[in-house]
Each structure stands twice: as C-alpha cells, then as structure tokens.
Structure 1
Amino acid sequence: MDRRNFFRILSTSAGALADGCTRKTDKLIPMLVPEHEIVPGEEQWHPAVCTECGAGCGTLVRIMEGVRQIERNGEQVRQRIAAVKKIEGNPLDPVSGGRLCARGQASVQSLYHPDRLRGPMKRTGDRGKPQFAGVSWDDALALAADKIAKARASDPARIAFLTGPLAGARSVAIARFVEALGAPAPVVCSVADFPVERRAAEIVFGWKGLPVYDLAHAHYALGVGADFLGGWASPVYYSRQFGNFRQGRRDIRGQLVQAESRLSITAGAADRWLPLRPGSEPQFLAAVGRILLESRLARNAAQVPAPVLAAFQAADVGALVAACGLDEKRVREVVQELGESEAPLVLAGASIVQSNSLDAIVASHYVNLMLGNVGKPGGVLPPAQAAATAPANHGAAEALARADVVLIDGANPAYTLPRSSGVFDALARAGTVIGFNRFLDDSGAWSDLLLPDHDPLESEIVQPLYDTRALEQTLADLSRKMNLPDRVPVTPAQPLSHTFDLAAPAFDGDAGEYPHTFQPYLSLQFHDGRGSHLPWLQELPDPASSAIWGLPVEIDPGTGMKLRVSNGDMVRVESRLGWFEAPAYVHPGAIPGVASMAIGDGHSHYGRYASGRGANPIAILAPVWEKSTGALVLGGTRVRLSRVGARRDWIQFAAPDREERGFEHR
C-alpha cells in the first residue's frame, strides 16, 4: 500500500461527499422577510444507511428546503438549507425491506440535537468535568498530532484506539491509521457487537461474521437465548422474517418456542416459553441434541464431528433438564415437534452474555447440523461477504489499563464498562484522551480534546450544519502532520476448536448474601445506551413495563411481596462491587430469583435529555469477561434487593399517568 492510496481511502467519504454538498452558493434571506412567506419546495428522497446499530438497515431520507438562522458579518440572516424531514426504510434493501425501528426513525433528532458539538473543543477544567472551550481545527489537529507523535516515538504499544462495532470505510480508515502508527489493532468497546455469536460461527463453520437465520422459511423454530424481536442483532430484519414465518404463507403458520431466562419481547410472542435458569443454555441444548439422537430424529447426524457426537450421546437428559429448571416431559415434547418438522430451525444467541455462552451457541450450530438445515432455505445461512470487517479485539479494559494515549470513536467506555474494571482510573491516568464523538458523553467528559465527527446524515445526505469534520478526514490530516509511513498488517492464524463444554455458568458474589441473579440487557429503544439522548426515544414506552423517561428493575412477584414493593417503588440493587437505586417493576413473567434491567439510563454526561437520569446497570457488574472473545459477561453478577422508598418520579404509559399526573419528567 503506497501513501497516496492510504490518504485516498482515509479521505474518500469526507472529501467527495462534502464537495457534492457545496456546489450551490448560500441563499440568504433578510430577517425582515416573515417566516410565513418562505414557501418550501418539493420533496426529495435519498438512499442512506442507518447507523444506530450494527444491522445497517437501508433507508430513504426525505429532504425538503428549509431555513435556519445564522450570523453573517455581524448580522442575523436566514439561510436556505436542505433539511431532513423524515427517515423511512428502503423497500429495495434486503435488511429493512422498507421498515425501520424507532431508533432509526429518531436518528433525525441526532442531526438537529441542540447539544451537538459545534466544533473542536479543548479541556479547560479537570477530567471528568464537562469544562471545554472552542479551538480552531488547525490548533486542535496540531496539538493532537503532537501528543500522538510523542507517544508513538516512546512506545506505540501504549496507544489505544477504542471503536464501536460498525464495519465499513470508517473501520478501514481506523485500522490503517493505527497500522501506520505501529499501534495495537483497534479495540471494540461495546456490549452490542455480538462477538460470542461471531466466534461460534467461526469455530463450527469457518464463517466470518454473524450467521443469518432464515426464519421466514422455517416451519418450526426453537429460539435459545436470543431476543431477536427485541435488542438482539437486527430487530427490523427478524421482525420481517417473523411476520412471514407466522402469516406469510397460505397453508403454513410457523410455530415458535423460546427458551430464555427472561420473558422478553420474543418470548412473549412465542407459542411457548421455556423459562431457563440464567446460564443453563448449554445444558438445554445438549439435552436437545441427545433427545434428537435417541429419538432417531437427527436426520443428518453423520455430518456431525465424532467428538461432538460423543458429547451429545454422553449427555444425561434428566440431569441437564433439571439444571435448567424445566420439566423433562415438556422439553421432550418440544424436541419431538422440532425433529419431526419439515423445516426445523434452532435460533440461538447471547442477548445476555454468560461465561458459558460460547458453548451454548456452538452446541446450537451442531444441533442445526444434525437437523440438516445448514445452508438451506429455512435454516442457517452464511453471512454476506463484507467489504470491510469490524475489529475483532474486545479487550477494552486491558487496552485502557496500558494506554498512554486513548482515542475514542463510536464508543463510550465510561458507560459500557463496569466501574470495577478500572475504567475511570485508566482514563484519569492516561497522558492524552482524544474523542471523535458528536456529543459530550460520559467518556467525552474525560477527554482532553474533542474532534467531533459529522452526523451520518451529513456524511451522506446534507451539508454539515456546524464546524465538524468526517473522521476519515481528521485521521488523514493527523497522518499528514505526523508524516506516517506505510505499514502492512500481520494477522496471526487462530486455531479452531470443534467441541463444546457443559460447564456451569460462573457468578460473582456469594449466593447466600446476594441471592438474585442480575441480567442487564439491550433495550429496544436505547440499545446499548447510545440512543438515550433523543427525546423521541425517551418518550417511547418500555415494552416490559410501559415506563417512559426512565427504566425500572424487573423483579418477580414473590420478591415484590417479600420486599413489600409495588410498581414504581424505589429499590436498591447492590452487588459486591457497588449499588444503585431505581424504580421497581413487578413483572408477572419474571423468573423467581432473577432481576433484569434494560440498559440505557444512568449517563453522567450525554446532553440535556439523558444526563443524570436513572441508573446504569452495567456500573455495578463484576469485571468478568468471556474467555474466548473478551466480551463483558452481562449476566455473571449476583445482587441483593432492598426497598428504599415509595414511588418517585417514575412514569408509566398507563391511563392514570397519561390523564392524571403532571409532566415533571419533561
């Protein structure tokens, strides 16, 4: 790779698209012209890609002529601009199929958010406090280049680049930038990248990426641990698939059985829900495989590797099902129906990662191999070949611990890593922290420099509203200032395993002192917390509790009665490593001894709509990582619950709240 191509790739999306947006001269309108005399023109629809999660739904963006007020030569004038009015799914896109989730619809609010960073900022106060002053891009880039160059000359291994889970030209630019620095590979710092699912597909099939489950053409589906209609993988895609699975065929109505440790959106939509004990998914799937073999329903057992087949045959169904907390007769009925179906499918994932989640998903792939549906309609399909892959390294806490210079793009380690991981000590200890995010978030408050990126809609559709720059352009400018050489990446081969283990899940905390298993999960509206700064999403009722402008802890009725807690009462959730207080929701479908909470609240800094609202369930987790991938084990911490007070500032989308209560949440 020569220097010319290196800089060309870094600058492609920043330069070419920006040129297309600036061909027309500004149209200024005096302030004396009344607003009602400014008539908008015709609408236009432009294709784009949603970046609110890693699914990458194709969208259509509705553009109309708009007007904004600016200052020009000391005078206030109105400027005609192309304004984004609406975002919808693209009917031609194979992922969205013309549909779009609430997060995608609300992404237009991110473009026009009042708390967006308007330009580069430099720290003026202590780290952790949002005290910044504006600086020019020239000064900001010079300062950033100087800090990075000194770290590179001293020890490039102490440079850490933390990213989000998205792949594409952006990830290519970041990868080549750190390669040129001689620094370690970029590190994904996210609880929504599904590395366990990716690793399992690589182990069993040699695939790179998330496998695709052809639910639309299956007749009988067994879901295990994957809330595919909620926050797992691609809710829009699998909701479309589920619609066809249920009602898209004249003579076939698909049947869904969901085995999961929480009554999720998917479990609620299933024909039957099997309430698994947290972390018992490997035992459940081993029992499924054993029953298929002994019932002679494993139509493709000859294709399963001999060591794996022996592991299934050695399984004790009675003991395994008992460990799951299920009735054996009921499980055998489900497996019988699965094996007899013309198009069976096991759809497994780790919506709540456990220490043994990899074994569960590996076992599920072998069960699908037994059923003969791999690579066939209604079965498990390989992921599409990507032009660029997302970074595979997930050791964010380890990277931060050794870093002197920390670069952060699309990640928020101060929010998505537990306090006990040492994230705040690492950010305080680092010599330089540079952020590229568009908002001053939890991690941005710890940064020394903020070099804000364009909004995705500005990179693709409209002219930038503020003095921001595309990340690719910023990295190219830094590369030129540091005169970086070319580097060729070397990726060592990773040996693959072909078996699975039935080890019990590991939990932090004594069961006697901390009797409840705690399960933070990706929320439908806020995902991993990145959407909580948008008021439309704050107004969206939580699917489980109907809560708005706040997320509760879900507890079972037995625990609620024992603690004398009713909906909305404040409870303390305490682990061995910390505690928080939040309203309680007594969930009639919660498993006894299991407390769950959606991720999204508890930001220290994230704009006016999210800062200081609610609690972050990740904060009190133990720093336990899945060994093969480095993913944070979300479900590996025990907690105890106690009532601390009556209902306080908690709103449910219910008749009494809508019609009788005030709007103090605003």
Structure 2
Amino acid sequence: MGLTRRQFLRWSGASTLGAVVFYGCNIPDEELQIESPLGMPEEGLALGAENWYATICGQDSGDAGVIVRVIDGRAKKIEGNPDYPINQGKHSARSEAGLQALYHPDRISSPKYRESRSGEFRDISWEEARQLLADNVSSGSTSIITNPLNGHLALLVSKFAGASGASHKAFKTVEEGVLAKVTEEVFGEKRIPDFDIANAKYILSFGADFLSTWQSPIRYASAYGEFRQGHSERGVHTHVDPRFSTTAANADNWVPIKPGGEGVLAASIAYVIMRDGLAPSAIVSKLTDGAGADYLSGFSPSAAEVHDATGLDEHRIEEMAHAFVDSHNQPSLAIGGGSAGAYTSGEFNLKAIYTLNILANNLNKSGGVIFNPESPLEALNTEEVLAAGKAATLKEINELASSGAETLIIRGANPVYGLAGNGEFASLLGNAKFVATFATSIDETTDSSNLVLPELNYLEGWGDSVPNPGPGYQVVGLQQPIVTPFAEMARSFGDEIIHLSESLGLGIVSQLGINDDPTIRGLVRNGADQLWSESRGSVTADSADGFWQGVLQRGGWWDVDAKKVSSGSINKMDNDWPSIEFGGETGDGANTFNLIPFVSNSLLDGSLSNLPWLQATPDPITSVTWEAWVEINKQTAESMDVKEGDLLELSAGGLKVKGPAYVHPGVPPWTVSMPFGQGHTVGQYASGVGENVMSVIANMIDDGTGSLAWAATRVSVRNLGNSDGERIPKFEGTVEAYEVEERHILQITGPDGDSHGHGSH
C-alpha cells in the first residue's frame, strides 16, 4: 500500500543523536516524520524502498514547502509539506512539474564554450570552465545577474560581489519593484507583509491575481477557503481589475476599471471615508497633515476627472467606500499589485490602495496587514542581502548597461527573452566581452553566451529560504538534495561561486566561517547551528547534529511566537493627480485597445515554458493550452467580425505580436489581454509555441520607481482571419464562453451542515 503524506517513516537516527522535540506543528509528531538522507540515495539500491524527503520548491511562487516521494533513488511524486507554514500541505501543478524539470531531456550535460557568440559550442571540462571564468572576472569589470536570491545564497553572492568589485542585480520578467518600494513608503517595512485573508470579513483587491500567480498564491488560496467557509459568516470580496482574472472570477463583485485608474479609485474611496467621518480622526489627521477630507477633494467621486480615469460613477464609488469600513465587514483588507502597479502611475496606485488599510485601522491586527519580522539569522538582514532578493527595475537595468561591464555572469534569469528589446539590456549583452551563464537547460540567454555551466536542479542541491512574504512570524525553510544529480556534470551555483572566490583570493570562506566545509551546504549548516543555539521554535534538540536532522525532517524551522510588534508608521498621503500615460498606439480608434498582459497560471512569466506538463495545463479562465491567445470582448469581436480562433495581430508603435482570438463576454470592451510565457525561440518544448507578448510592450516606466510599466501599452488590433480553420487548443473543445444569466441560488446546506430552505443571490 502506498504511503500518504501523513504516513512517513520514523527517523531512524534519533536514538544516536539525542532527543529532538517538535513544536508548533499542525499534525501530531508521531504522524509526521519525514526522513532526511544521512547519505545520498543512489538509483538501483534498496529496490522497492520508499522514502519521503522534505525540501523547498524551487520553481513556484512563494517558496512553498514540499515533500518528495523517492523510490529506488528516483523522485516519483511531489506534494505539499503538511507542516510547512507557507502552504501547510497545499501545492500547485507548478510544484508537481518539478519532476519534469529534474528529468528533462534538455538538461545541460557538460560545460560548453565558444569564443565567438555566433560560433558553435564545444564541450569542455569543469577545470577549463573554471579557469575561463576566473581569468575573465579578474581581468575586467563584472556584473552578475541572477534570479531574486534568498537565504544564504543571497549572502554568498552579495559577499562575492562586494569583495570582487562586481555589481549584482536580480532580474525577474514581471518584477514587483513598485510593491517593495510602496511597502517601505506606506508602512515603513522592508519586507512584504502577510495579508491575513483567512480572518478578514471584507477584501477589496486591485489588480493582484492572488488566487493564481501573485506573490504567494498557494498560501493565499488556502486562506481564501477559510475566508469563504471557515467562519460563521461568509467573507465578501470585491476585485478591481481591467481583466477578468482567476481572482476576479472568484470575487462576489468584479469592477472592470479603466486601466491606470486604480489609484484614483482608491484615493476617491479614501476621500469618502474621511468626508463621512468613517475613520479615526487621529489617523485622518496624520494622513492629511491636519487638513482632513479637503486634502483629497480633487478625488471626490463627483469630479468629472475621477469618472474619466476610472469609468465608475459617484454612487458606485461611495458604495465601495462604505462597504469597506462598514462595521459588519470588519476586519476589512485592501490588497494591490499586478497590473495595478504596472502603469506610469503604479507607485501612486499602490500607495493609495495600501493607505486604505491605515484608514481601516487593521495594521498588525487579525484580518489585516501583518508585518513580517526580520530573519532570526542576523547575517541575512543586511541591506545587501535584502537587495539581492529584490528584482531590479528597468531603470536599474538600463543604468547597469551604461556601466561598461566586460564580463557578465548570469544565473536563473532569462533577460534576453524577458525584456524582448525593452530597455538597454541588449547593449549590455552586446558590449560585454565574455558572458557566462549557469543554467539547467538552454534558453535564449544561455544561447547568447560564451560559456554555459550546467547547474543542479533544486531537488539536487542544498539551500535555504527566508520566505518573503512570510506568514507573519520567523520562518527558515531548508532545501536538501533528495536524489543524486541526474546530469552528472551539473554543479551547485553556490559551490562554484565559493570556488571562484577562492581562486581569486577573496577570503570569503574565512569571512563566512565555513573553512571546515567550504560549500553552500556548510553555509546552510552554519545557519542551522545558529538556530539551534536559540533553543526555541518548532525544533529543539540536545545537540547541533540532532537539530540539523530535525530541521531537515520538517523542511525547516519556524517560531510562531516570533512576530513583529510594530504597528507601522503613518505618513502623509499623496494628493497630486497621477500621471497616467500610455505608449504604443495613439488615438481612440475603433480598433485601438489597452493591452493588459497577465502572468500565466501554469507557465508564470515564461520560466516554466519548457515543461510539457505545464504547457498542457488548462488556463483556469479560458481552458486554453499550448498557446498564447488574445482575449477580446464578445460584442467588440462581433463588430470586427472576429470569431474564436481567428488570428489577431496586435500592433504598437511598429511592434507586432499575433495570437488566436478567444472571444469572451467578461473582457471589458476597451481592453484586450494576452498571457506572458510563450513565444520562446529556444527549447524543445518551449520554442514554436505562440508569441511573446513582451515584444510589443512599449518602453514605459513607472514614474516613481523606474519599473517597467508593462500594462501601459495601447495596441491596434487587426483580424488576419483563419483560412486554415484552425481551432484554438482548449480543454472545452468548441464550446464558446458565454454569460450565465443571474439565477436564484438555493442554499441546501448551511455552514453547520444543516439544511436551509432560503436562497440567496
């Protein structure tokens, strides 16, 4: 009989390492014993033996904890870790597809080199690759571009950059630089807060598709279940978004706002709350510098400018404001992100949205905005380490391009695809004399390199994570190798940075105190030893070795009592009218629309496009697979003689992208939408599938942060027809999307399981 995730093997080494005690666990200790390997399991040994190992998912949003079923040394199944605080046993299709990433046929098998980037790669040894890398780093200026880093790997790379004189920037196609800056400006916090969705009674969200891809969607979706069904009264949710997203589809009320007007709406809501005396006077005084509601009079819902920016009438705005602070709806919670922060007014938008939480007086309170504490490991709280986890803005990438770096080291990032011509990265790449990439498989950026170094998959290597956002208390997740490396010549990026630092004589090993074990494992183990010395939290033990095994079994360490006690700071609101500008096509012609790109539920920003399981995962709104489609309003489609499957060409300032039409009544008539993630030119499963929407995004930035304003593009749409009669590939087959008439819903089971004869709308 197969094991369930609650039926794990007991830890056989407990008796030799001393007593290990687990606290703060959601499942009784005797039911959850995840066995960590004392030595790496090898394929072909212990035939039929089945083990479960805890680690951190390296390819999903939000640093979810997972457990991996291993039989005969091969990983067979990935599930959520029932005890890990971030996801508490829940997981996504993206997590499960980690197996395909591990055993992918396109895994890079050995280091590859070419002197000219237009030449052919040849296989070389690791010794030759290491020498090439060291020679080029030592001979000129170096820039390092990675995915946003966390934990001790962030510490290591920041130390290396400081010691070698290199610059380091984190890159993410759809970065949240606006959210990070606004969190600090509005709340005075350097870490993204936790949103206590589970205990809220009313949620007002703007743009953030938190039930699908935004920030920590697995955690949020689980909390949303509690919000809806975990209390005596069902929570109420209003979602403001120019696209009918997964989150919009689950809300009670969807408000299809005009693109860019989210901040104006939030400021208008704040004005009504102040004007009608619905917020504490002391808070209003601080937000307005004593001026009261008059401070925001320019955002009165009766103002013509407010209607023009939002498309909403005065009554609707006042209704939303009163609902947000209604005593029966407390605690209420405002959340903003995604497209709401991706305009030229992105910073203004999010600042206005998050200020609503201050008016609701919900900071660090149940059902509100919960601030996250610092890491229990002091070395991970420095500005340099925190910066390593924040994706660079387009402005920062452009500034990096002007630095004249001669050597580029790129890891876990694909800016050639992700920027698709936006900004100055192309010149940075073109002017560099030597480009080295660490990767598990070839993508557009590795294909533009001189040196390609095969990296371990996250299921093969060591690491740790301080989740950001966290759950409101201290958490350190542990990543451990659960199988032997599938690609024999793959190496750990962290280990190679340590080796490079030693080759250059930087002394980082001594600085980090890992002389006895100069590896990323040694660095992670040092952190675990520091946690052991604290004698608190979810795992305690008589010895450091016992503690180490305990945290590997649990998948990490956390202390539910280690919370941030700050109630946040209150700063004066912005009351200047925001600059809402759009690039691309000008004018308001009949076939001109706002383009609202969105992060793919399965492929994210394109980083997972090489995994067939995820290509074949139906989109939750359209059920489309293996394609990059264009969502268009049904009535608009009829006026343009567009039918489902017709090829639509989107043009913006000479840039063009194409995709099959998906006709949908839930698309606002002033927008079209297209997912990120497709249109790759490299990769057995990624290339030749759809087109890259980034290639038509106008080069616009948010005024306040310098982030790419990826939702600030207007496009003209042309119907190219469908002469071949090709159908759009979707799970629903030929069934078209249609609007369901409002019906009387009969509730047959109440929250306590009792039958009821009354209905609701």
TM-score normalised by length of structure 2: 0.74
Which secondary structure does the structure 2 equivalent of 1:317 belong to? coil
Q: How far 1:462 sits from its partner (Å)?
A: 1.6
- Give the whole-Å Cα distance in 1 for the aligned partners of 2:726 and 2:114: 36
Contact 2:405 2:432 in 1 (8 A): yes
Which secondary structure does the structure 2 equivalent of 1:436 belong to? strand
> Equivalent residue for 2:300?
316
Tell me which amino acid in the other structure corresponds to 1:271.
D
- Give the whole-Å Cα distance in 2 for the aligned partners of 1:119 and 1:105: 26
Q: How far 1:478 sits from its partner (Å)?
A: 1.3
> Greater shift after overlay, 139-148 or 562-571?
562-571
Q: How far 1:537 sits from its partner (Å)?
A: 0.4
> Equivalent residue for 1:290?
271
User: Matches of residues 454-603 of structure 1 in structure 2 within 5 Å?
Assistant: 454-459=456-461, 460=480, 461-466=482-487, 467-484=489-506, 498-500=572-574, 501-509=576-584, 510-512=586-588, 515-603=592-680
- Give the whole-Å Cα distance in 2 for the aligned partners of 1:331 and 1:316: 9
Contact 1:287 1:321 in 2 (8 A): no
- Give the whole-Å Cα distance in 1 for the aligned partners of 2:411 and 2:597: 24
Contact 1:125 1:132 in 2 (8 A): no
Q: For residues 611-637 of structure 1, what are the alpha-carbon distances to aligned partners after superposition, in whole Å with 9 as ceiling and x for unaligned?
A: 121111011212222244332111111
Tell me which amino acid in the other structure corresponds to 2:490.
T
Contact 1:354 1:636 in 2 (8 A): yes
- Give the whole-Å Cα distance in 2 for the aligned partners of 1:523 and 1:623: 21
Contact 1:188 1:396 in 2 (8 A): no
Q: How far 1:46 sits from its partner (Å)?
A: 1.1
Contact 1:83 1:462 in 2 (8 A): yes
> Equivalent residue for 2:331?
343
Q: For residues 477-511 of structure 1, what are the alpha-carbon distances to aligned partners after superposition, in whole Å with 9 as ceiling and x for unaligned?
A: 111222236699xxxxxxx9743243142111312
**Taking structure 1 as reference, are residues 455 and 594 closer, same or farther at Cα in structure 2, changes over 3 Å only?**
same
Q: How far 1:90 sits from its partner (Å)?
A: 1.0
Contact 2:240 2:254 in 1 (8 A): yes
> Equivalent residue for 2:732?
654
Contact 2:116 2:450 in 1 (8 A): no
- Give the whole-Å Cα distance in 2 for the aligned partners of 1:283 and 1:434: 45
- Give the whole-Å Cα distance in 1 for the aligned partners of 2:312 and 2:659: 31
Q: How far 1:337 sits from its partner (Å)?
A: 1.7
> Equivalent residue for 1:233?
215
Which secondary structure does the structure 1 equivalent of 2:583 belong to? coil
> Equivalent residue for 1:364?
353
Structure 1 unaligned spans of 5+: 1-19, 30-38, 66-81, 489-495, 658-666
Which secondary structure does the structure 2 equivalent of 1:60 belong to? strand
* Mapped pair 1:277 → 2:278: no
Tell me which amino acid in the other structure corresponds to 2:321.
V
Contact 1:572 1:582 in 2 (8 A): yes
Contact 1:54 1:165 in 2 (8 A): no
Structure 2 unaligned spans of 5+: 1-35, 381-385, 462-479, 512-569, 736-761
Q: How far 1:299 sits from its partner (Å)?
A: 3.5
Identity %: 31
User: Matches of residues 102-121 of structure 1 in structure 2 within 5 Å?
Assistant: 102-121=93-112
**Taking structure 1 as reference, are residues 380 and 335 closer, same or farther at Cα in structure 2, changes over 3 Å only?**
same
Q: How far 1:382 sits from its partner (Å)?
A: 0.9
> Equivalent residue for 1:12?
none
Q: How far 1:54 sits from its partner (Å)?
A: 4.4
> Greater shift after overlay, 454-463 or 297-306?
297-306
- Give the whole-Å Cα distance in 1 for the aligned partners of 2:608 and 2:261: 31
Match among 404, 407, 424 for residue 406 of structure 2? 404
- Give the whole-Å Cα distance in 2 for the aligned partners of 1:102 and 1:26: 27
> Equivalent residue for 1:48?
55
Q: For residues 629-654 of structure 1, what are the alpha-carbon distances to aligned partners after superposition, in whole Å with 9 as ceiling and x for unaligned?
A: 33211111111111113054731112
> Equivalent residue for 2:317?
331
**Taking structure 1 as reference, are residues 342 and 423 closer, same or farther at Cα in structure 2, changes over 3 Å only?**
closer
Q: For residues 245-296 of structure 1, what are the alpha-carbon distances to aligned partners after superposition, in whole Å with 9 as ceiling and x for unaligned?
A: 00011x2100001111111111111111111111101100011101111222
Contact 2:43 2:74 in 1 (8 A): no
**Taking structure 1 as reference, are residues 619 and 21 closer, same or farther at Cα in structure 2, changes over 3 Å only?**
farther
User: Matches of residues 107-186 of structure 1 in structure 2 within 5 Å?
Assistant: 107-123=98-114, 126-127=117-118, 131-151=120-140, 156=141, 159-184=142-167, 186=168
Contact 1:218 1:379 in 2 (8 A): yes
Moved segments of 4+, more than 4 Å: 20-29, 485-488
Q: How far 1:519 sits from its partner (Å)?
A: 1.6
- Give the whole-Å Cα distance in 2 for the aligned partners of 1:312 and 1:367: 13
Which secondary structure does the structure 1 equivalent of 2:302 belong to? helix
* Mapped pair 1:382 → 2:371: yes
- Give the whole-Å Cα distance in 2 for the aligned partners of 1:300 and 1:252: 29
Q: How far 1:117 sits from its partner (Å)?
A: 0.6
Q: How far 1:183 sits from its partner (Å)?
A: 2.0
Which secondary structure does the structure 2 equivalent of 1:458 belong to? coil
- Give the whole-Å Cα distance in 2 for the aligned partners of 1:126 and 1:452: 18
Tell me which amino acid in the other structure corresponds to 1:465.
F
Contact 1:203 1:498 in 2 (8 A): no
- Give the whole-Å Cα distance in 2 for the aligned partners of 1:25 and 1:267: 45
Provide the aligned C-alpha RMSD in A: 2.5
* Mapped pair 1:268 → 2:249: yes
Tell me which amino acid in the other structure corresponds to 2:144.
F
> Equivalent residue for 1:641?
717
Q: For residues 389-411 of structure 1, what are the alpha-carbon distances to aligned partners after superposition, in whole Å with 9 as ceiling and x for unaligned?
A: 35244322432353321111111
> Equivalent residue for 1:217?
199
Contact 1:526 1:600 in 2 (8 A): yes
**Taking structure 1 as reference, are residues 590 and 530 closer, same or farther at Cα in structure 2, changes over 3 Å only?**
same
**Taking structure 1 as reference, are residues 656 and 597 closer, same or farther at Cα in structure 2, changes over 3 Å only?**
closer
- Give the whole-Å Cα distance in 2 for the aligned partners of 1:653 and 1:193: 30
Q: For residues 497-535 of structure 1, what are the alpha-carbon distances to aligned partners after superposition, in whole Å with 9 as ceiling and x for unaligned?
A: 743243142111312478211121111111111111111
- Give the whole-Å Cα distance in 2 for the aligned partners of 1:121 and 1:506: 45
Match among 244, 248, 257 for residue 230 of structure 2? 248
- Give the whole-Å Cα distance in 2 for the aligned partners of 1:546 and 1:422: 36
* Mapped pair 1:95 → 2:89: no
> Equivalent residue for 1:419?
421
Aligned length: 596
Contact 2:61 2:217 in 1 (8 A): no
Q: For residues 436-472 of structure 1, what are the alpha-carbon distances to aligned partners after superposition, in whole Å with 9 as ceiling and x for unaligned?
A: 1211101111010011211000012222122111011
Contact 2:269 2:320 in 1 (8 A): no
Contact 1:284 1:321 in 2 (8 A): no
Tell me which amino acid in the other structure corresponds to 1:503.
P
